[in-house]
Structure 1
Amino acid sequence: MSAPLYQLKAEFFKTLGHPVRIRVLELLGEREHAVAEILPEAGVEAASLSQQLAVLRGANLVTSRREGSHVHYALTSPGIAELLRVARGILSGVLEGRAELLADLRAAGPPRG
């Protein structure tokens, strides 16, 4: 029997649960990148980036192709970039709500007691 869809979704989101993987996917949402282009943007050592790219490849979120001595990566689906855009919109709304709450708390003055 195959895993329920909600379990597969949980695994999918676990794969996204690393800042370097998110950064890589954001970069690849713009266009295909060579590893040498990703490395300075990811802010990690080459070995760590290689490990994170392997996780993304294993989850079939990115594809790779070799061109001479360079390896290039691309998203397997434009839906991945769209998902990250939606997540950004949700987070923006959450953070705006928190900023409003913080402003209200500051306006109320120091706690008494």
Structure 2
Amino acid sequence: METNETKTLEHLRKLTALHFQTLKPANDKSKAYIAQIKFVNYYDLGCVITDMLKLCILALDEETHKFSEKNKNESINVSLILETVLHLFPMDEFEFLSDVSEMVGGDS
């Protein structure tokens, strides 16, 4: 039985190495993890940050802040926000969990 458990543990380690890509351990001694999002350049990063802030402001007080009336370029790029959120979903980890579920004997 011990051999089977060793094989199972080794298989889990391989699956973990293959699928757990979204969170990387921080380089300090904390138990924190870092999620990385890729951007084309600093301007792209700036656009995402400002659009997120605008969206939050509008969600809090729609009447006070009318960005789109001032300048058409200041409208919120909802598509960009949704794309960023989509990149935050840890699909590799979800796939790993499915693999583990199959390995241990069932899809519950």
Structure with the largest fraction of strand? 1
User: Structure 1-normalised TM-score?
Assistant: 0.31
The structure with the largest alpha-carbon Rg is 2
User: Structure 2-normalised TM-score?
Assistant: 0.32
Structure number with greater CO (CA < 8 Å, separation at least 6) is 2
